[in-house]
């Protein structure tokens, strides 16, 4: 992992905080079929990762992580563009205290755990409390940004792993390093 500690603080303290204590997920607002548009300014995320329609307003800003809670319940998403979150979606508003892309990658590492809590019925459902109660390592923002950069620029995963498996493996290794309070090094020092 040499080089991964670049630009990170020496001995940075990492606290585990419940996601819900760090950021309040916001439930999307319902749109009825007659309000949906075939083409429009903003994609509508409802009960799947593929937006079924568009709307002329947005309810979530660009750079927002979200979780589907009905239908494809438990799936985690991120949008670089502003969008409309319908009522089967909880989104995490952009905040100064948390890098939303970092939150997204963290939630991806927990997706299996999240999916295991989905109530299977005619329409699968997920209680947002499952996500709110997950404990996320909270390094300083510059470290979160560096982790996101590393995940984005990491080489292809070895041994035929899928991209998601590679991202998850890298993030789990980084998280373990953060949680163990291992020194990160400085701009001139590698781990």
CATH number of the structural domain spanning residue 75: 3.90.220.20
Q: Is residue 8 part of a domain?
A: no
Q: Is residue 66 part of a domain?
A: yes
Q: What is the pLDDT of residue 189?
A: 29
pLDDT tens digits, one per residue of 43-66:
999 988 888 899 999 999 999 999
Positions of the chain with pLDDT lower than 70, given as ranges? 1-13, 154-191
Q: Return the exposure string of 104-132: e unless at least 16 CB atoms fall within 10 Å of the residue's CB, then b.
A: bbbbbbbeeebbeebeeeeebebebebbb
Q: What is the pLDDT of residue 24?
A: 94
Number of domains in the chain: 1
Q: Is 185 left (phi over 0), alpha (psi -120 to 50) or beta?
A: left
Contact criterion met (CB below 8 Å) for 124 and 73:
yes
Q: What is the pLDDT of residue 179?
A: 57
Residue 176 to residue 124: CA distance in whole angstroms: 32
Q: Is residue 191 part of a domain?
A: no
Q: Is residue 159 part of a domain?
A: yes
Helices (H), the chain: 19-22, 100-109, 111-116, 128-132, 141-153, 163-179
Q: Is residue 188 part of a domain?
A: no
Q: Is residue 5 part of a domain?
A: no
Pairing of strands 42-45, 83-85: parallel
Q: What is the pLDDT of residue 71?
A: 92
Q: Is residue 4 part of a domain?
A: no
Q: What is the pLDDT of residue 79?
A: 95
Domain that includes residue 146, residue range:
15-179
Residue 53 to residue 55: CA distance in whole angstroms: 7
Q: Is residue 71 part of a domain?
A: yes
pTM: predicted TM-score of the whole model, two decimal places: 0.76
Residue 101 to residue 149: CA distance in whole angstroms: 10
């Amino acid at each position: 992992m040499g080089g991964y500690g670049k630009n990170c603080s020496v001995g940075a303290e990492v606290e585990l905080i419940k996601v819900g204590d760090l950021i309040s997920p916001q439930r999307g607002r319902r749109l009825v079929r007659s309000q949906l548009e075939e083409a429009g300014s903003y994609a509508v995320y409802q009960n799947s990762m593929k937006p079924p329609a568009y709307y002329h307003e947005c309810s979530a800003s660009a750079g927002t992580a979200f979780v589907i809670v009905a239908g494809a319940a438990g799936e985690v998403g991120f949008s670089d563009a502003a969008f409309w979150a319908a009522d089967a979606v909880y989104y995490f508003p952009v905040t100064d205290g948390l890098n939303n892309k970092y939150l997204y990658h963290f939630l991806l590492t927990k997706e299996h755990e999240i999916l295991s809590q989905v109530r299977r019925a005619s329409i699968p459902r997920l209680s947002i409390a499952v996500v709110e109660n997950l404990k996320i390592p909270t390094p300083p923002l510059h470290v979160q940004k560096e982790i996101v950069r590393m995940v984005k620029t990491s080489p292809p995963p070895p041994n035929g792993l899928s991209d998601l498996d590679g991202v998850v493996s890298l993030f789990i290794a980084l998280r373990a390093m953060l949680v163990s309070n291992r020194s990160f090094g400085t701009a001139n020092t590698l781990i």
